[in-house]
Amino acid sequence: MSTNNQNSQIIALLETLTADMQEVKTDMQDLKLRVGGLENHLVYFGTRLQNLEEKVDQKLYDTRPLWKDVIERLTQMEAREQKREKDFQDFKEEVLKRFDSVDSKQEKLDKDFQAFRLEVVGRLDVLEKEFRVYRRQEQLQIASVIGDVVLIDERLEKIEGKIENKN
């Protein structure tokens, strides 16, 4: 095999690798935007919960155990989200380390590149599946929290009715 032919094959492999890495980068940016959106929703929901807690305190009705549970659930959700983001960052660092460690020999480069590409595709598939499961779990938990808020609202209405009856 001639040197020019080997160089052409190496260049072609590197171009393929560069295109694949750009696709991975784009996918990572998309996931980051989605996670950022979830964070914004959680912050907004946390603010709403805080305002509702103040209203309950003003009505002289102690619902602190319920609120503690809601806050604990939100904290757990944020912790899980942060862990997933850290796992994603660890994965990104691992991908970059593997990319930097690719050997310059053509035969080894070919094997390493193919194994690396399969691993990245497999991990991205797993990550995508985990993210779908995570998103569904978060939706279910948010629905549960909303149910709790509805119960609190019903309690407030009863309390307000009792207060109005006393007046």
State the DSSP code for 118: H
Tokens of 40: 């914004």
pTM (two decimals): 0.30
d(CA 43, CA 120): 32
Tokens of 85: 């983001």
pLDDT tens-digit series, residues 27-51? 899 889 998 888 989 899 889 988 8
pLDDT at 118: 92
pLDDT tens-digit series, residues 119-156? 989 988 998 998 899 889 988 888 888 888 899 889 98
Segments making up each domain of the chain, as ranges: 3-166
pLDDT at 129: 92
At 135, is the secondary structure helix, strand, or coil?
helix
d(CA 22, CA 14): 12
State the DSSP code for 101: T
